[in-house]
Amino acid sequence: MKHWAYLILGAFLFFIFISCENDLSTIKKVSFKPTDPDERTSNVHMIQTDSGFAKIELKAKLSETYYKPKTRIKFRKGIEITLYNQAGKVESVLSSMYGEIIQETGQMKFKDSVRLRNIKENQILETEELHWNQNTQAVFTDKSVIVKSSDGSLFYGDGIKTSLDFKQYEFIKPKGKFKID
């Protein structure tokens, strides 16, 4: 009788193990969408250094990397980039609600509530979209732009060219209101 119990238990376990099959392609069909990122990282904090000194600091709540067709990193929950000078002091801060980097070309795009602040000059650039070419260090947009200064000057127009440190800038189609002493 004991042998029959072991035989029945063994047969039962055998059928359980052979009936459990996980086909990877079936799992991918159920759990993977072609629009999903290849990698997802939360609470990103990266610092790029040069000779041991901070040069650029990047903070983001969420980073999503897509490898096809080109490597693209999206920051859908906001991004903040801080640029440091050679003395290690903050020179400018760029923030937006959305950011995107195309790795192969070095192009970055920022959208939605974009602010570029020059700390030393106490100036703030505001726009809805801004592009940064990491290879040439050019920062530009063809969208409406407002530049506010600490003295109350207000410059605005359509389109601007500057650099990430925001020391000098050129409006494409300028307009404005400013104080002259």
Query: In the chain, which residues have pLDDT < 50?
Result: none
Does residue 6 sit within a domain? no
Q: How many domains does the chain have?
A: 1
**Strands 123-133 and 107-118, bridge-based pairing:** antiparallel
Query: For residue 70, what are the CA distances in angstroms to 7, 9, 64, 98, 156?
Result: 58, 55, 13, 19, 35
Q: What is the pLDDT of residue 31?
A: 62
Cα 113 from chain centroid? 14
Does residue 79 sit within a domain? yes
How far, in Å, CA of 162 to CA of 168, rounded?
A: 6
- What residues make up the domain containing 64? 32-177
Does residue 26 sit within a domain? no
Contact 99, 121 (CB under 8 A): no
Q: What is the pLDDT of residue 180?
A: 60
Q: What is the pLDDT of residue 75?
A: 96
**Residue 74, domain CATH:** 2.60.450.10
Does residue 83 sit within a domain? yes
